[in-house]
Structure 1
């Protein structure tokens, strides 16, 4: 298959018109049209439905566009890796993690990384779905469980637990429940037990729901749970890494928590020598080490005061 024709097809499919693709490729509309017709002839299929408002991909065109889009991403990533050098760090790095961890822990710390490497471009993809690193859906993943793929480099960052928290204002107005049975007088804010989330969090929520809780608010990520707790709506199930950045949260039921949840950073073996991946990995590791040290100091201080 002719690579040049595929490049032109991709530009047309991406732009949705011959005119816009021509502006990008610096080719005439007639030249692009000839290349598309030639590609369609070689494949013995129609790739576009043509109408007055532009071009729409046929089913076969959608399949080819999906392939060229994947090829284009891999080529861009390869070009960026080739440009990596010992002295310069620039280009795009695609990072995937959960909505909660990405918005509440990672994003607030990124200014430090950008101060060091102002030419770095980070594409932060926040979703509960596990993206396929081997298929280059992302370059680096921070996941709440150990990755199962064999060809990944992985590093365990820390362990977290899900615990119960309320705002100071809520506690001042409604008080702290003394037993789990007292939760019936409060609203529980959590992720839906059947939603995509870490298993330990789901198990804790299912346990809490065995009590006669009359009012609940379920949200599909921890960012939403946190905002509801800060709005004094009730008692929320939240990861313990939030307590450093949100010290106004008050822990409810200190003896109640989920099992430990391991947090892993992973990336494909083929990116082992990427400078962009290395600086991101080292940055996150430094932040985690500093976080652990602060946690240890706070725990020691609390033990002495007790």
Structure 2
């Protein structure tokens, strides 16, 4: 069997359609289609099902894909070991991080990683959607999720705790919520899923409650939400890292601290494809970020214990 054709099958299925595969391989769509047809003819079976928008593997196509991916990863590893022999760490990592967590928490980690590994190109996207890593050619994504997708490797980066908070001026003039139900009538500042009522999970001594809320100011940009809370426009329901500095300075007060609140999930996860070749650059980056996340989680836990 032609190894080149097998690895091309991997590229086609990774891309999701023939046009995208042609773009990545810098070939014409007709040429890609011809090589795929030749491979199917040589095997005598259909390897992919074609629709107007996507190609999906058949059962035999999926088995060949897995073998092709293993071969491709070995070839990439061999090539990297030769080209990087005696050189400093090089490569590229394409990373997708949430806007708030990425800027408020991860930015110093990323800058520090870049200082330690100047030869590695970091391509960082700040966004909140859970994208298709395969389609968007993302190496690593960081997301808050209740349940990570089963088709991805998920590494735990630590818990995410939401807090109810407001500026000192707002707290003194209008008061802070004292009961979970008080959130229903408060002018709420938070993120929400477009087109859905905001459903908040709340845990008190491991007993789970739910409350449906109607925010008055909504955004996916947590830096903007932080500014709205600072401006005294209402009660923020945001991850603790968004307002931690303001809380430490006494500029923002929190309430319902005995509750563990969650909107999109209780843990931050680092996600990547299970069968994609890990370059030395990518493997080094993943371990660096996980190490920083563990240190950060330990510090927060120690602070909570001291408090």
TM-score after normalising by structure 2: 0.61
1:12 corresponds in structure 2 to none
Higher alpha-carbon Rg: 1
Aligned residue pairs: how many?
227
- Displacement after TM superposition at 1:296 (Å): 2.2
Between 112-121 and 83-92, report the one with greater CA deviation: 83-92
1:153 corresponds in structure 2 to 153
Maintained 8 Å contact 2:200/2:213: no
1:203 maps to 2:203 = no
Matches of 1:226 and 1:100, distance apart in 2 = 10
Matches of 2:191 and 2:279, distance apart in 1 = 36
1:216 corresponds in structure 2 to 216
2:255 corresponds in structure 1 to 252
Matches of 1:203 and 1:251, distance apart in 2 = 17
2:286 corresponds in structure 1 to 281
Deviations 1:171-213 (A, max 9, x none): 34544343456557742101234369xx9x7435982527xxx
Maintained 8 Å contact 1:164/1:256: no
Gaps of 5+ in 1: 1-62
1:204 to 1:193, Cα distance in 2 relative to 1, 3 A: farther
Maintained 8 Å contact 1:84/1:275: no
Matches of 1:136 and 1:185, distance apart in 2 = 41
1:269 corresponds in structure 2 to 274
Aligned-pair RMSD on alpha carbons?
Answer: 3.5
Counterpart secondary structure, 2:125: strand
- Displacement after TM superposition at 1:90 (Å): 2.4
Counterpart secondary structure, 1:176: coil
Counterpart secondary structure, 1:220: coil
Counterpart secondary structure, 1:258: strand
1:232 corresponds in structure 2 to 232
Counterpart secondary structure, 2:110: helix
Counterpart secondary structure, 2:200: helix
Deviations 1:80-99 (A, max 9, x none): x8355685222321111322
